[in-house]
Structure 1
């Protein structure tokens, strides 16, 4: 049984590589950001330059037209792409999203299980660039794509 997750601790974050921190989160040793629970996101795989999330929107993630709000797709892709960049961040640094773009190609209905994969295209000393895709777990269909640029921040 994994120990109780440790709440966010900036000192612990900068004392580890981004990859090690995400592995600790995946192991349940570090608590994920609260927004992930609100949005129904679950980190399921971490490797150098790539991360995978599983998610399923709820009715509460809907918008005025009864479909899933674009912010849900944005949050899912920002998490996947940003965490992919985080895997390249060294000890003593963090990162932040500078900009991201999302293209919704197909509507995700409430309860549909999807997988979001973020992959680094460039992991530099000052910036990271990543792409992301959201696909249905059961049907493999493409539901959304995204791209991001992150800044790497020292200590």
Structure 2
């Protein structure tokens, strides 16, 4: 699937709100994962991509690079937070109906161990509730090769009817 990966290069490359509201959240996320719509530039910047999108579950894969190291030589906590926020919130998005949108209200992460630079990981977001106005999901970062648990997270998102 790597050959279908494309990221937005300019703001004009991103889907418009009209485009987004014309699809269900699941259809929108599948279009990005399949390469029919460009992914947001944060994925290129941080080194991850949505590999699996299904209703209530999204998996991002990626590897932290040297550029996300902190001053003490480990992967910055913001990288863990960004990939976990992405997989958890996008999992909630797969439950959002056509004409609606969502945004993160809060999220929490627990870093269990450092991820070595260049280590391929999966960030798995799973929805536990998606109602009319809120969604709740959790996430895990696990090693691709060894399934080792590196971090966990939880999120609450607001779901808004816009269309």
Confirm or deny a common fold (TM above 0.5).
Answer: yes
TM-score, normalisation: structure 2:
0.91
Q: Is there any run of 5+ residues in structure 2 with no aligned partner, and where?
A: none
Misfit runs of 4+, over 3 Å: none
Structure-1 residue corresponding to 2:39 = 32
Q: Which of these residues, 39, 42, 48, is aligned with residue 49 of structure 2?
A: 42
- How far residue 7 of structure 1 moved from its aligned partner, in angstroms, is 2.7
Q: Which of these residues, 57, 78, 84, is aligned with residue 85 of structure 2?
A: 78
**What do the CA deviations read for 1:127-151 (whole angstroms, capped 9, x no partner)?**
0000000000111110000000000
- How far residue 109 of structure 1 moved from its aligned partner, in angstroms, is 1.1
Q: How many residues align?
A: 154
Task: Select between 21-30 and 85-94 the one with higher mean Cα deviation.
Answer: 21-30
Spell out the pairing of 1:95-106 with structure 2 (5 A cutoff): 95-106=102-113
Q: Which of these residues, 114, 123, 129, is aligned with residue 122 of structure 1?
A: 129
Structure-2 residue corresponding to 1:59 = 66
Q: Is there any run of 5+ residues in structure 1 with no aligned partner, and where?
A: none
Q: Aligned pair 1:89/2:117, yes or no? A: no
TM-score, normalisation: structure 1:
0.95
Structure-1 residue corresponding to 2:14 = 7
Structure-1 residue corresponding to 2:24 = 17
Q: Which of these residues, 144, 151, 161, is aligned with residue 154 of structure 1?
A: 161
- Superposed CA RMSD in Å reads 1.5
